Amino acid sequence: MSLVDHLTELRNRLLVCFSTLGGMTVVCLFFSDRIIGWLKATAPGDMKFYTTNPTEVFSVYVKTAAITALVLSVPVLFYQLWEFIRPGLKKTERRYTRIFVPAFTAFFFVGAAFARYVAVPMGVSFLVGFADGIAEPLYTVGDYTSFVLQLMLVCGMLFEFPIVLYLMGSMGLVSSPLLRKKRKVVVFWIFVISALVTPSTDAGTQMAMALPIVVLYELTLLLMRFRGI
């Protein structure tokens, strides 16, 4: 394919991605109240939410719909990315990477679900406990829903790490002996990156994000060793 053909294909795939995001955002707008309620359910039962300006609730509706649309559009986005890079891969590389779309999609949603049902409730309870008897916490609905959605997105992306490692191993870029040798370095950087990308500064939430990635890393090493990679 010529450069013009590549650019044309890139444009067409970007149009599909943006059209999907736009359409999903419109659909999610009709369910924003339910989605916001679902996000608020991660907070302790006695937590109250406030608004500081008349436009905040409307902004929350739009932002929640947009980010939810991004999450739900992940299968389409991954598929478009895969179809764009697939022609440039060798036959052996295509065989190893054909699990790209289903594996990346599955692990992204598992990561997002882990954030919603484990990391966020643990982190919020940990943080709210510090204010008990000292101050009355005041949380705006916008800040809280943004916190939950950001954590879901970040955790979803972090859960892709084992898939990336396995694909790199399948293509001969890394090996299980090398990864075992560099285990301490990799674990260190998992904690560093989790701390940097987590939209919270408390150690509890950061640990809740990093530990499952470390576990997945170890499981990936076992799988690679079993497969002789």
Q: What is the pLDDT of residue 131?
A: 65
* DSSP symbols for 212-226: HHHHHHHHHHHHHHH
Strand locations in 101-210, DSSP E? 139-140
Residue 78's H or E segment, with its range, is helix 74-85
Count of the separate structural domains present in the chain: 1
Q: What is the pLDDT of residue 46?
A: 72
Question: For residue 42, what are its two tokens?
Answer: 């991660």
How many Å separate Cα 160 from the centre of its chain?
8
Q: What is the pLDDT of residue 202?
A: 65
**Left if phi > 0, otherwise alpha if psi is -120 to 50, otherwise beta: which for 137?**
beta
The pTM of this model reads 0.82
**If the chain, 229 residues long, is cut into consecutive pieces of 10 residues, what is the mean pLDDT of each piece?**
75 91 93 91 81 86 92 88 78 68 87 89 77 73 88 88 84 82 87 76 73 88 82
Query: Containing domain of residue 12, as a range?
Result: 3-226
* Distances 87 to 14, 191, 217 between C-alpha atoms, Å: 17, 36, 29
Q: How far apart are CA 144 and CA 16, in angstroms?
A: 31
Q: Which residues, in sequence order, are bridge partners of residue 49?
A: 139
Whether the Cβ atoms of residue 25 and residue 64 lie closer than 8 Å to each other: no
Q: How far apart are CA 150 and CA 65, in angstroms?
A: 13
Q: How far apart are CA 126 and CA 129, in angstroms?
A: 5
Q: What is the pLDDT of residue 229?
A: 74
Q: What is the pLDDT of residue 34?
A: 92
Q: What is the pLDDT of residue 1?
A: 62
Q: How far apart are CA 130 and CA 153, in angstroms?
A: 26
Q: Which residues, in sequence order, are bridge partners of residue 139?
A: 49
**Which residues does 149 contact at the CB level (< 8 Å), separation at least 6?**
39, 63, 64, 67, 68
Q: How far apart are CA 208 and CA 119, in angstroms?
A: 5
Q: What is the pLDDT of residue 150?
A: 86
Question: For residue 33, what are its two tokens?
Answer: 């109240």
